[in-house]
Structure 1
Amino acid sequence: MAETRINSGWIKGVGFIALLSAAAYLAAGVRFIKEAGLSPVVIAIIIGMAAGNAGGRFIPSSWNSGFAFCQKRILRLAVILFGFRITFTQIAEIGAAGITADAAMLISTFAVGLLIARLLKMDRDTAILCAAGSSICGAAAVMAAEAVIKPEPHKTAAAVGTVVLFGTLAMFLYPVFFSFSGMTANEFGIYIGSTIHEAAQAVVAGEAVHAPETAVIAKLGRVMLLAPFLLILSAMVNRENKVARIQIPWFALMFVAAAAFNTFIDLPQAVLSAVNTADTFMLAAAMAALGIETRADKIKNVGAAPLVCAAAMFIWLTAGGYLINMVIINITG
């Protein structure tokens, strides 16, 4: 394929993306940015969009093959390595209540997103991307879904933007809501993990209510549901495109395999830390490459519909998620 043909333009394109990813990684370590819960992955798309819009005309077209490689190949590898952040043991620790809450919120939020998108007459790709980001694990879910449906880059960027906006808002609102929730810290941690957008945001909100471990584990349970979601999404796309042969996203299966390996093989912490760092760097690279191809005029053409759709899902996640979690708490008591 053209995007994998190695030449000087490809090397320079990949090298440029690596520099942007490194810049995002360093910026994420700055204290006030870290406290705001902004991950290198989110910062990378901002830097990429800035580079694409401010200096896009100075970037040689021969570099595009390197950008495409990062958007596709590097992204899939990053999704696989994401599995090393999870173990089946961690998922089991949150119990039936946590797993049920995660599944209920994923299914209901995705359904709400698609319904609102249809009412707003949004295109299919943008609707799926926005719904995936809100219902599963933020930007990582958007990028994973992007690898299945293969939309135009600016649609993916619009979806990531909504996740960043409302996920950040939730991160600051949830701790305020805790004192009025009637939940214990542990129960509220499950609520955070099952409804907030990004894993980093779950950490910040969880720490604020003294339940970071529960919040993160509940969030990881939602992340684990990314694999079956991708399989179902792939089947839907195949059916819509009238593809007779079943096309399974192999990287989704490898994601589960990585989680299984991490569960049954006790890797040294230093190795896991290195893998997670590499994974974050790769996700940031994919985001930066996506950002470069996202021009302001294209984002403008998407309109306000994704923002309205994401707002509706945010309301459902916070209010509907609270009701669902309270019902589950009362049932499992």
Structure 2
Amino acid sequence: MANTKNQASVGSARALWHPLTLFETGRALMPGVLVCGVIALASSFISEQYGGPLLLYALLLGLSFHFLHGNPQTKKGVDFCGRAVLRIGVALLGARITFDQVGQLGIQVGLLIASAVVLTILAGVWLAKLLGLNREEGLLSGGAVAICGASAALAISSVLPKTEANERFTLLAVVAVTVLSTLAMIGYPLLTQALLLPAMASGVFLGGTIHDVAQVVAAGMLLGLDVADSATVVKLFRVMLLLPVVMAISMLYRHHALPQQPGNTTPLVPSFLVAFMVFMIASSTGLVPAGLVQTATDTSRMCLVLAIAAVGIKTTLEDLLKLGWRPLLLLVAETLLICTLVLGAVLLNLTGHMG
């Protein structure tokens, strides 16, 4: 009897990787993946032709297709994009960061940005409690504001407990940080000019406060190439901090992510974070061609667009409205906090080589 069970388990393990099993799995996922792909392509077209934030377009279009999530033919593929494709996209973010870029910042700027990130996340948890929200919402909103906006929100949500409330809050966080980042892209360059900040100081401020990478570059370009370059390096350092932050949150919620099965344990470090580090190391060696790095970066962005389209499909506007005004206040307060911290340090000349 025991031998029969062992043979059955071995057979099922083999069947998992059997070509026919893979074909059947792919066929089951295809309708949902194609829906997310069409949304991603439409969003890319709108963004390229008319400008504006790509992820926000994908999110809004995804919301309009919510009726498809209840369809059993598309549900599996949509869920796959919202989880597996998301993790691939986060892992590939590591390819755009090198240790040389981080080294260019200097110790003082690095400590300033790292401190601002940590303080913003901790303040997010405290403010969430003050507003009657849960710790998960504080961690997710604080991480999104402190690190890299929508990408960080999606990455952090992937290691938090899977609940409908967390999924709704993730979607709201993506919308809010995208809008706030767009406003910052317009307003922060005007602020730096009003304060007569030099190029390096302006770059540190823009790169240390604006949520999305693309909008950091756009804001920097408004002030010149030197500002854009320094702002981009600072921003990439913030993106690098996604790795330890998500790893810490993953460990915090390690035993709450999924019900434990006999003989099955949640890995201490999620595989997509390991892949993030591997890509970062590979990019830092200089052995990876620039074209391949660009391909990885483009693939990462498209994966994140597919993921946010899936998140939109799984959510309704009614669900978002149920969250009320407190999450929005939380995200605005965190945005003002990191802005105040970084700008205050710049004005006090705590990073001595900025001038």
Same fold flag (TM > 0.5): yes
Q: Given the alignment of the two structures, is residue 314 of structure 1 paired with residue 344 of structure 2, yes or no?
A: no
Q: Identity over aligned residues, as a percent?
A: 25
Q: 2:92 aligns with which of 81, 98, 106?
A: 81
Aligned residues of 2:108 and 2:351 also touching (Cα < 8 A): no
Give the superposition deviation at 1:158: 0.8
Q: Report the secondary structure of 1:136's partner residue.
A: helix
Unaligned runs of 5+ in 1: none
Given the alignment of the two structures, is residue 264 of structure 1 paired with residue 264 of structure 2, yes or no? no
1:231 partnered with 2:239: no
Amino acid aligned to 1:138: G
**Partners of 1:130 and 1:160 within 8 A in 2:** no
CA distance in 2, matches of 1:298, 1:326: 42
| Match of residue 283, structure 1, among 271, 292, 304 | 304
**Counterpart residue identity of residue 131, structure 1:** G
- Give the whole-Å Cα distance in 2 for the aligned partners of 1:151 and 1:203: 35
Bigger mean CA deviation after superposition, 66-75 or 123-132 = 123-132
Q: Secondary structure at the match of 1:108?
A: helix
CA contact (8 A) 2:125 2:137 kept: no
Cα contact 1:105–1:195 (8 A) shared by 2: no
1:319, distance to aligned residue in structure 2 (A): 1.9
Equivalent residues of 1:191, 1:325 under 8 A apart: yes
Conservation of the 8 A alpha-carbon contact between 2:144 and 2:173: yes
Q: CA RMSD in A?
A: 2.4
Paired residue for 2:117? 106
Secondary structure of 2:218's match? helix
Q: Does residue 51 of structure 1 match 2:70? A: no
Q: TM-score, normalised by structure 2?
A: 0.84
1:173 aligns with 2:187: yes
Paired residues, what number? 323
Q: Tell me the secondary structure at the aligned position of residue 318 of structure 1.
A: helix
What is residue 214 of structure 1 aligned with on the other side? 230
CA–CA separation in structure 1 for the residues paired with 2:169 and 2:73: 23
- Counterpart of 2:43? 24
Task: Please give the alpha-carbon distance, in whole angstroms, between the structure 1 residues aligned to 2:213 and 2:43.
Answer: 17
TM-score normalised by length of structure 1: 0.90
CA contact 2:69–2:313 (8 Å) conserved in 1:
no
User: Aligned pair in 2 of structure 1 residues 175, 234: CA closer, same or farther (>3 Å)?
Assistant: same
Deviation at 1:332, TM superposition (A): 5.7
Match of 1:190 in 2: 204
Amino acid at match of 1:232: A
Partner SS for 1:80? helix
Structure 2: stretches of 5+ with no match in the other structure: 1-15, 17-21
The Cα shift of 1:239 comes to 6.7
CA distance in 2: counterparts of 1:70 and 1:57, whole angstroms = 14
